[in-house]
């Protein structure tokens, strides 16, 4: 520390450096500033003792308070679960077909179903549940149901899946491939007949005959479909795999058949119930009331 001296006018020591005649006064730090610094140091030591701080090889030091962000999250989640318990218990108790009668509980179920849908279902059916024609995932917003669109039928589909391997009660439908069964004219005739069912093309006698012989067993004489077998309606405007003659022909010769995983065992019954309510609420589930009030159908849905 060379050349330290007292600055005459102020009585303060200089730091001892000089830059082109300019000197700096060695003014001490303000006291409050120093005390703030010391306080932060003390606080830092306390913090290191109380909270997780030093990173070690596998984990950090734990801190005497035992606090961790994961622990805090778990706590918060358990609080949320606690708050949901009543609703979930009520949902577990109520038979699903009677859920719409309790509009508040139904609203909660739909809300819960909406978030579960985004986690488990949106990958195939899309976040708006609109499905995909290109990939063959059905639109859940419409009123066309292969297996029935009431709450019970939807729940059954969710629980057991469609063509889910290893599930005895799964929904199972088989459309045989007609590769080689029809010649080119026959194929055109039957395709036109199928299109004629919804007024998309003129029919011919041979096409009608071929349809009656080969298709009406499952799809019905007028193409009304059969939910028992999962045979789709052919006389409506909704075509899961497309309605062009080419798409129809491909479907007749070498049918694509969708599959859906079963959710029993993966999701708890209450979540499945909520998901069913959500899917039902999307605008196509309005048939439920009639179906539910008809005990015969209800029995049919129970395998």
* CB of 115 vs other proteins, minimal distance in Å: 15
Burial label, 280 (beta-carbon count in 10 A; 0-12, 13-18, 19+): buried
Backbone φ and ψ for 150, nearest 5 degrees, come out as: -90, 170
Toward other proteins, which CB reaches closer, 90 or 236? Answer: 236
String of b and e for 201-228 (b: at least 16 CB within 10 Å)? bebbeebbebbeebbeebbbeebebebe
What tokens were used for 226? 């059969």
Toward other proteins, which CB reaches closer, 103 or 134? Answer: 103
Toward other proteins, which CB reaches closer, 144 or 298? Answer: 144
User: Do residues 99 and 279 lie in contact, with contact meaning Cβ atoms separated by under 8 Å?
Assistant: no
Toward other proteins, which CB reaches closer, 153 or 187? Answer: 153
* CB of 215 vs other proteins, minimal distance in Å: 19
Toward other proteins, which CB reaches closer, 152 or 233? Answer: 233
* CB of 89 vs other proteins, minimal distance in Å: 25
- From CA 124, how far away is CA 240, in angstroms rounded? 14
String of b and e for 126-143 (b: at least 16 CB within 10 Å)? beebebebeeebbbbbbe
* CB of 205 vs other proteins, minimal distance in Å: 26
* CB of 70 vs other proteins, minimal distance in Å: 27
Toward other proteins, which CB reaches closer, 84 or 200? Answer: 200
Interface residues with other proteins (CB under 8 A) are 9-10, 103, 126-128, 130, 139, 141-144, 198, 233, 236-238, 281, 283-284, 286, 289
What tokens were used for 213? 């012989």
* CB of 126 vs other proteins, minimal distance in Å: 8
* CB of 137 vs other proteins, minimal distance in Å: 13
Toward other proteins, which CB reaches closer, 141 or 264? Answer: 141
Toward other proteins, which CB reaches closer, 159 or 194? Answer: 194
**Which candidate, 295, 1, 291, places its Cα nearest to that of 151?**
291
DSSP 121-178: THHHH-TTS--BTTTTBPPSSSS--SS--SHHHHHHHHHH-BS-TT-TT-B-------
- Alpha carbons within 13 A on the beta-carbon side of 104: 4
3-state secondary structure 67-119: CCHHHHHHHHHHHHHHHHHHHHHHHHHCCHHHHHHCHHHHHHHHHHHHHHHHH
* CB of 45 vs other proteins, minimal distance in Å: 30
* CB of 177 vs other proteins, minimal distance in Å: 26
- From CA 232, how far away is CA 148, in angstroms rounded? 11
Toward other proteins, which CB reaches closer, 90 or 144? Answer: 144
């Amino acid at each position: 520390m060379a050349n330290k001296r007292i600055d005459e006018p102020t009585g303060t020591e200089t730091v001892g450096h000089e830059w082109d005649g300019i000197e700096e006064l060695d003014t001490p730090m303000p006291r409050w500033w120093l005390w703030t610094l010391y306080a932060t140091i003390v606080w830092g030591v306390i913090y290191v003792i109380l909270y997780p701080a030093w990173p070690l090889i596998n984990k950090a030091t734990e801190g005497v308070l035992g606090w961790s962000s994961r622990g805090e999250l778990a706590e918060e989640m358990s609080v949320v679960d606690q708050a949901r318990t009543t609703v979930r218990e009520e949902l577990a108790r109520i038979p699903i077909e009677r859920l719409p009668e309790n509009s508040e509980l139904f609203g909660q179920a739909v809300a819960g179903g909406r978030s579960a849908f985004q986690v488990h279902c949106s990958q195939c059916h899309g976040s708006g549940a609109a499905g995909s024609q290109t990939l063959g995932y059905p639109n859940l917003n419409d009123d066309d149901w292969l297996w029935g669109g009431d709450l019970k039928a939807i729940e059954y589909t969710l629980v057991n899946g469609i063509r889910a391997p290893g599930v005895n009660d799964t929904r199972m439908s088989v459309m045989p491939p007609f590769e080689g069964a029809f010649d080119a004219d026959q194929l055109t005739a039957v395709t036109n007949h199928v299109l004629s069912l919804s007024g998309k093309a003129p029919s011919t006698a041979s096409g009608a005959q071929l349809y009656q012989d080969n298709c009406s067993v499952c799809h019905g004489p007028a193409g009304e479909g059969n939910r028992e077998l999962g045979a789709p309606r052919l006389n409506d405007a909704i075509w899961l795999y497309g309605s062009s003659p080419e798409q129809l022909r491909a479907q007749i010769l070498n049918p694509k058949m969708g599959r859906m995983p079963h959710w029993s065992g993966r999701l708890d019954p209450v979540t499945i119930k909520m998901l069913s309510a959500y899917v039902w609420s999307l605008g196509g589930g309005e048939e439920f009331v009639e179906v539910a009030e008809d005990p015969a159908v209800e029995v049919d849905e129970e395998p």
